[in-house]
A and B are shown apart, each in its own frame.
Chain A
Amino acid sequence: MDNRKSIKTALTIAFLLVAVAALYWGDNNLSRFQLRILNLAAIFVILGASMNLVIGFSGMFSLGHAGFMCVGAYTAAILTMSPESKELIYYMEPIIPLLANVQWPVIPATLMAGVVAGIFGVLVGFPALRLRDDYLAIATLGFAEIIRIIVTNTISITNGALGLKNIPSEKSLLFYWGFGILTILVLKALINSSWGYAFKAIRDNEIAAEAMGISVFKHKMLSFSIGAFFAGIAGALMAYLITSIDPTMFRFLFTFQIVLIVVLGGMGSLTGSVIAGVVITIAMEWLRFVEQPMSLMGMDIPGIPGMRMVIFSLLLLIVVLFYRQGLMGTREFNWDWVLDKLGIAKSKEREVS
């Protein structure tokens, strides 16, 4: 048992080292386009995993992720932009003096983006989490739109519909995937902890969970605001990647892209969200050819923007109809599985962490 535990720890550390080396290699050898796609994949991994915490592990059908992302993106953008570019961009209405001269380093700004989004999570969750299922979905969808509309209209803070430009750019794989890996490690630790089990208990049977002494509302709030926190982080990363943001980026359609990742990967599997996050981001780019004008069997088809989404919609339909558990179901990748396959240091007992 102990033997195996140390093997697993060693493997995890080795894996992380290899990952860092690979990211470092990637930073120096991949093209800008490839880097951009992979960085986007990291953002979608964070979004997918954090939404999976809310939907898959805690059983709350929430569709507010784009809203929290919006909050995070704006927080990070405002905190990191230089005072000069703020003066330049806010020409409709000058930015409020409190924020005009702040310029934070990137990492604290990113964490702050998460915290602010988390606070919004608490504010939204407080009324919305009294609802469940479809009602919760509608309410959170509504709140996400409300956030977007507030952002559009608080011109002296967010520059309204004009959006923000000249956000300091980050290009390194290590930066985006560093946040990605940290997110996964934190969520995995949370899900395998007593709190994670409490979330799952509420998902499985709310009445029984409450009869076990679990305060359902408190735990839902916790899970929901942690989900919002990571959505905020992802929003911040999105701002650094694109370097210009505006409110229309965070329409509810964006949330559905994340839902797609959660459902295809498997509700209740972080591994699934990671795989689906990467695969879907790459597929999104790769499938661009279907939007080009092409001739198919003698027919000329004009380029139709949005055709990619049709393919994903069909995929989602097929998964929901025939393969409900998604790619991974509720299974997770773990070293035990690898070691069992290799026949090393067998152990029967499952650990409790």
Chain B
Amino acid sequence: MSAEKILSTDNITMRFGGLTAVSQLSLDIHSGEIIGLIGPNGAGKTTCFNMITGVYTPTKGRILFKGQDITGMRSNLITKEGIARTFQNIRLFQSMTVLENVMISKHVRLKANPLEAVLRLPRYTKARKENYEECMELLRQVGLDDVAHEMATSLPYGKQRRLEIARALATQPSLLLLDEPAAGMNPQESLDLMNFIKEIRDQFKLTILMIEHHMEVVMGICERITVLDYGVTIAQGNPAEIQNNQQVIEAYLGVVETNA
């Protein structure tokens, strides 16, 4: 890859008391890539996401996004810089419609103050109208425009996942972190999801880092994969290399007893 480096983590380590959840993880992600982060349960994948998005501050190490040090920055500011994420357990705003969920992402870029909003002054109403158009367009692109005015929680599971991605896209990120986007999906739904992820990558010029357990999905779309086990990076490489890596197989299937 000759493209520029968009995110790099420099030996980040996260300790909770005596437990080292992630140990010296170094990732380098280039613009336009789809990178997979895999590993058995409890390997520290989501912790890694939480460090990148500012939910946790790494105990050690630095995170650089587009050359800027974002270690320990607050989540909302990191989002503003251009990193968006989805959640492993869906976290939609349950009191809102699909459209309202997506429009929340526009709030931070709204160029008006609360007083203008209460009095419905032109600068506010104009910005809101633009946001509305943009969000409807986004919903059209991801195929949720027909349910725009439904309550978010009334959608079927697969569409809720899709909405989470749409909501993240509405923050206009350049790096998108997907935490198990295919969790709980049947084979057909995961296939659709794979195509969808590729589509949005090309359409929105994204770089994607994803955690996923469905191996068909990971091997199908990820260009490079990093494998974690108990917080330690045990392998990095392209899908073919990972599939044949002895350590990875052991981490997933257990160690073969040689003298049995």
Q: How far is the CA of A344 from the CA of B259 in the complex (A)?
A: 83
Known: A213-B79, A213-B171. A198 touches B84 (CB 8 A): no
Judge whether B107 and A212 touch: CB under 8 Å.
yes
* 8 A Cβ contacts from B91-119 to A: 91-97, 99-100, 103-110, 112, 114, 117-119
Compute how far the CA of A352 lies from the CA of B124 in the bound complex, rounded to whole angstroms: 12
- The reply to whether A194 and B93 contact each other, CB–CB distance below 8 Å, is no
Partner of A195, one of B55, B94, B99, B117: B117
Q: Mark A181-225, 1 if CB is under 8 A from B, else 0.
A: 000001001100111011011011101111111111000001000
Is A350 interfacial (CB-CB < 8 Å)?
Answer: yes
- B53 within 8 Å of A by Cβ? yes
Instruction: Answer yes or no: A349 CB below 8 A from chain B CBs.
Output: yes
A314-353 residues with Cβ-Cβ distance < 8 A to B are 330, 348-350, 352-353
Interface range on chain A: under 10, 10 to 19, 20 to 34, or 35 or more?
Answer: 20 to 34
Q: Is A64's CB within 8 Å of the partner chain B?
A: no
- What 10 pairs between A and B have smallest CB-CB spacing? A213-B108, A193-B117, A213-B79, A208-B91, A204-B93, A210-B75, A189-B118, A205-B91, A201-B104, A215-B76
A121 in contact (CB, < 8 A) = no
A210 to B171, CA, bound (A): 12
Whether B91 lies near A189 (C-beta < 8 A) is: no
A216, B77: Cα distance in complex, Å? 11
CA distance A214 to B78 in the complex (A): 11
- Residue of chain B at shortest CB distance from A226: B114
Check if B161 is an interface residue, CB within 8 A of chain A. no
Q: Across the interface, do A186 and B108 meet the contact criterion of CB distance under 8 Å?
A: no
Write out the residue numbers on chain B whose beta carbons fall within 8 Å of the beta carbon of A203.
95
B198: interface (CB < 8 Å): no
On whether the beta carbons of A211 and B114 are closer than 8 Å, the reply is no
- The reply on A180 being an interface residue by CB < 8 A is no
Q: Is the CB of B91 within 8 A of A214?
A: no
Residues of chain A within 8 A (CB-CB) of B66 are: none
Assess whether A235 is interfacial by the CB under 8 Å rule: no
Interface core residue of A222, A350, A352 (most chain B CB under 10 Å): A352
Residue-wise, chain A 218-256 has the 8 Å CB interface mask toward B (1 for contact) of 000010000000000000000000000000000000000
9 A-B residue pairs with CB within 8 Å:
A189-B120, A194-B110, A195-B107, A195-B114, A200-B96, A211-B76, A212-B79, A214-B104, A350-B97
Contact of A212 among B95, B112, B149, B171 (CB under 8 A): B171
Contact residues of B with A, CB < 8 Å? Answer: 53, 55, 74-76, 79-80, 84-85, 87, 91-97, 99-100, 103-110, 112, 114, 117-120, 124-125, 128, 131-132, 149, 167-168, 171
| A268 touching B107, Cβ below 8 Å | no
Cβ of A268: which chain B residues have Cβ within 8 Å of it? 95
- Is A200's CB under 8 angstroms from B95's CB? yes
- Could you tell me the distance between the alpha carbons of A169 and B107 in the complex, rounded to whole angstroms? 43
Question: A204-B93, A353-B128 known; A222 and B114 CB under 8 Å?
Answer: yes
Asked whether B91 lies within 8 Å of A197 as measured between CB atoms, the reply is: no
User: Would you call A190 and B108 a contact (CB within 8 A)?
Assistant: no
Name which residue of chain B comes closest to A351, CB basis: B132
- Of all chain A residues, the one with the shortest Cβ separation from B97 is A350
CA distance A212 to B76 in the complex (A): 7
In the bound assembly, the distance between CA atoms of A319 and B83 in angstroms comes to 44
A214–B107 CB distance below 8 A: yes
Q: Using A198-B107, A213-B79, A215-B108 as known contacts, list a sample of 14 further A-B pairs with CB atoms less than 8 Å apart, ordered by residue number in A.
A: A190-B114, A193-B117, A201-B107, A204-B92, A208-B93, A211-B75, A211-B85, A211-B168, A212-B105, A213-B107, A213-B171, A214-B107, A350-B97, A352-B99
Chain B, residue nearest A198 (CB): B107
Decide yes or no: A200 and B93 within 8 Å by CB, A208-B87, A210-B75, A216-B76 being known contacts: yes
A244-B96 Cα distance, complex, nearest whole Å = 45
How far does the Cβ of B95 sit from chain A's closest Cβ, in whole Å?
Answer: 6
A204 and B85 contact, Cβ closer than 8 Å, known pairs A197-B104, A213-B171, A353-B120:
no
Least Cβ–Cβ distance between A219 and chain B, in angstroms: 9
Contact A330 B95 (CB under 8 A): yes
- Min CB distance A337 to B, Å, is 16
Over the window 252-264 of chain A, the binary record of Cβ atoms lying under 8 Å from chain B Cβ atoms (1 yes, 0 no) is 0000000000000
A198 to B76, CA, bound (A): 13
Whether the Cβ atoms of A214 and B76 lie closer than 8 Å is yes
Whether B128 contacts A352 by the Cβ 8 Å rule is yes
Closest residue to A205 on the B side, CB-wise? B91
* A115 → chain B closest CB, angstroms: 14
- A211-B53, A213-B80, A268-B95 are known contacts. Are A193 and B104 too (CB-CB below 8 A)? no
- Taking a contact as CB atoms closer than 8 A, the residue among B74, B103, B104, B119 that contacts A189 in the complex is B119
Q: A186-B118, A194-B117, A352-B128 are in contact. Are A210 and B76 (CB under 8 A)?
A: yes
A233 to B91 alpha-carbon distance, docked (Å): 37
> Which B residues touch A212, using CB under 8 A?
76, 79, 104-105, 107-108, 167, 171
Complex Cα distance, B174 from A148, in Å, reads 51
Tell me, in angstroms, the Cα distance from A192 to B115 when the chains sit together. Answer: 13
Q: Which residue of B lies closest to A188 (CB)?
A: B118
Chain B residues closer than 8 Å to A201, beta-carbon distance: 93, 96, 104, 107
